[in-house]
Chain A
Amino acid sequence: MIPSIPQPKAGVRLYQAYVALFFIYLAAPLIVVGVFAFNDSLFPSMPWEGFTLDWFIGDSDPRLGIFNDGALMESLGYSAFVAVWVTILSLFVGTCNAFLFERTSFPGKNMLYVLALTPLVIPGVILGISILIFANSIVNNIEDAWGYEIEALRPSLVLVILGQFAFITTITTLVISARLRKFDISLEEAALNLGATKLEAVRTITIPFLKPALVGAGIICFLMSFENFNTTLMLTGSDSPLTITMFDRLKQGSTPALNAISLVLMIVSATLAFISIFVQRDKNGQ
């Protein structure tokens, strides 16, 4: 089953047909979402009623385009706000973790490493409810003790940021560690020999080396945060991020406006994904 072994032609054709069919299966849902964003009908379904841009720029009900839909644009803003904070926090902690696990040794390191990986095997909904419960306990205890209520720890954007940060940090830790492992430590030692302090050496030599991984991990964080649903669902308050707003609208009944916003999301994610693949590729071609 490799090119150097001759195979019956029919078998090869059948295999290729299967692969082709698979990629059609992979692309089909995305293509229909994109195409129906331009259908001149009140529902994203057959038949095709003609081409329209109303679902993007329409200015009145029932054909309110997404760019004129205040609530939708607001939730897009919330999503961006959350994603920026999650990216900053998890990049920072992820970088510290990478240095900790790759550069130092201390008793209990393996145990801490496994613990740092556990968010990967905690279902998102469970992570969400456990953080919800914990935040609620803190608020209640403080309120009982000092009579002061911390609003931010009620379901809100702050909790959404914390919840997403909780598991996305594992991803950044892995991505940055992988790059740090490839770093030739003698470069840093050379800098130390030339009179740099440890911190200067890390700042001028190691961090620039890590930059592709940092940019790549940052983009991954941003996208993961933007599209996260399970954890966000449990922690969101009245200001809901885009995925939750879209979900609520979808439950009420779908309009092609949802296709339009989905298409915008697809274009933005694909662009970011290409950039991340591009920056993470080494100059000498992997």
Chain B
Amino acid sequence: MTSSSKMAFKASTLLLMLPLLIWLVFLILLPHVDLLIVSLREKLGYRNYVFSLQNYTEFFTEPLYWNTFLRTAIMSIIATIITLIIGFPISYYIAKIAKGRLRALLFLACLLPFWVSELVRTFGWMILLRESGVISSFLQWTGIVSGPVEMLYNDASLMTGLVYTSMLFMIVPLVTVLDTLDDSMIEAGYDLGGNGFTILRDIVIPHAMPGIASGCIVVFMLTLGNYLTPTLLGGKDSLWFTEQIYNQFITRFNWESGSAFGFLLLILSSLIVWVGLKLSRQTLADTVK
């Protein structure tokens, strides 16, 4: 390569890089830096600010705030575990047991609900669970209960919605990874005297670990940042952290403390994603492959 063509190569690389840089700098990096800056200031008057940690101390001294924060994190972890437990057998069935057309059909059936807006899905659950809803009417019709039952606006309904909403993001990576598990490995396991449980523990789960990790990370992250499902299914007292952020911003117009909350949520989600990646020895680039 001559030096002039080398220069041309570099110029073209730079040109190609330009959209990426504009996108990353102006829509990802600078906004988050600004978020941090705003979270670190205290409003004294109209456009009169001083540097302060007050927004963060407010968070830690007001039990409602950090209780909500903790609750959101714990509920998200529980939702992730439930999603994994429900989704794993389904993924195994699709990847290993169903064959040909049935397999394609089942996989597609898993994808389709998620092409529909989250709002519509949540709305569907409201129609099913509410006092005058389908399940309540069905129970009355069968005579199991004598009056209408309200199943909305509690943690169980919230959990149902959260698990439903994230199911796809667990099933797709699991099916992909279980697909690569050679059937003869399982057969060998049986030949060597293993039973269903030991094979699951020693062969299937270790092989599926990368899929389990990426599924859990995505599900956890999406659940933590979910706003719609907690607001609509959890009712007024659902206490979800994104709701707190929304309230600070839109209802109370307190952008400083809202930013601090937002930053804390960002740190929590990054931290858990990072720990998840480290524990499962994955990298972010691997999980999206």
- Name the one of A33, A120, A130, A140 contacting B288, with C-beta atoms under 8 angstroms: A120
- Name the one of A19, A31, A243 contacting B119, with C-beta atoms under 8 angstroms: A243
Q: List residues of A (200-252) whose CB comes within 8 Å of B's CBs.
A: 223, 226-227, 229-230, 233-234, 243, 246-247, 250
Once the chains bind, are B284 and A121 in contact (CB under 8 Å)?
yes
Once the chains bind, are A30 and B116 in contact (CB under 8 Å)?
yes
Taking CB atoms, residues of chain A closer than 8 Å to B34 are: 130, 133-134, 137
A interface, by DSSP: helix, strand, loop or mixed?
A: helix
Once the chains bind, are B13 and A106 in contact (CB under 8 Å)?
yes
- Name the one of A28, A92, A165 contacting B124, with C-beta atoms under 8 angstroms: A28
- Name the one of A113, A131, A243 contacting B31, with C-beta atoms under 8 angstroms: A131
Once the chains bind, are B13 and A104 in contact (CB under 8 Å)?
yes
CB distance from B273 to the nearest CB of A (A): 5
Q: Knowing A106-B13, A123-B266 touch, does A32 contact B127 (C-beta < 8 A)?
A: yes
Question: Roughly how many angstroms separate A243 CA and B93 CA in the complex, as a whole number?
Answer: 35
Determine whether A27 belongs to the interface, using a CB cutoff of 8 Å to chain B: yes
- Chain B residue, CB-CB nearest to A105: B13
Total A residues in contact with B, Cβ cutoff 8 Å = 85
Determine whether B144 belongs to the interface, using a CB cutoff of 8 Å to chain A: no
Q: Knowing A5-B187, A133-B34, A266-B116 touch, does A22 contact B86 (C-beta < 8 A)?
A: yes
CB distance from B19 to the nearest CB of A (A): 4
Total B residues in contact with A, Cβ cutoff 8 Å = 89
Taking CB atoms, residues of chain A closer than 8 Å to B285 are: 113-114, 117
- Chain A residue, CB-CB nearest to B131: A45
Determine whether A280 belongs to the interface, using a CB cutoff of 8 Å to chain B: no
Question: Roughly how many angstroms separate A203 CA and B62 CA in the complex, as a whole number?
Answer: 60
CB distance from B164 to the nearest CB of A (A): 7
1/0 per position for B234-277, CB-CB distance to A under 8 A? 00000000100110011000010011001001100110010000
Number of A-B contacts (CB under 8 A): 240
Once the chains bind, are A166 and B28 in contact (CB under 8 Å)?
yes
Question: Roughly how many angstroms separate A32 CA and B128 CA in the complex, as a whole number?
Answer: 7
Contact stretch, chosen from B53-61, B63-71, B104-112, B205-213: B104-112
Q: Knowing A30-B113, A45-B127 touch, does A100 contact B16 (C-beta < 8 A)?
A: yes
CB distance from A29 to the nearest CB of B (A): 3
Once the chains bind, are B137 and A46 in contact (CB under 8 Å)?
yes
Q: List residues of A (115-150) whose CB comes within 8 Å of B's CBs.
A: 115-127, 129-134, 137, 140
Once the chains bind, are A22 and B90 in contact (CB under 8 Å)?
yes
A residues near B (Cβ < 8 Å) are 1-5, 15, 18-19, 22-23, 25-33, 36, 43-47, 92-93, 96-97, 99-100, 104, 106, 112-127, 129-134, 137, 140, 162-163, 165-166, 169, 174, 223, 226-227, 229-230, 233-234, 243, 246-247, 250, 254, 258-259, 262, 265-266, 269-270, 272-273, 277
The 15 sampled A-B contact pairs (Cβ below 8 Å) are A1-B196, A97-B19, A99-B16, A112-B20, A117-B285, A121-B284, A125-B265, A126-B265, A126-B266, A130-B31, A130-B35, A227-B118, A229-B118, A229-B228, A273-B111
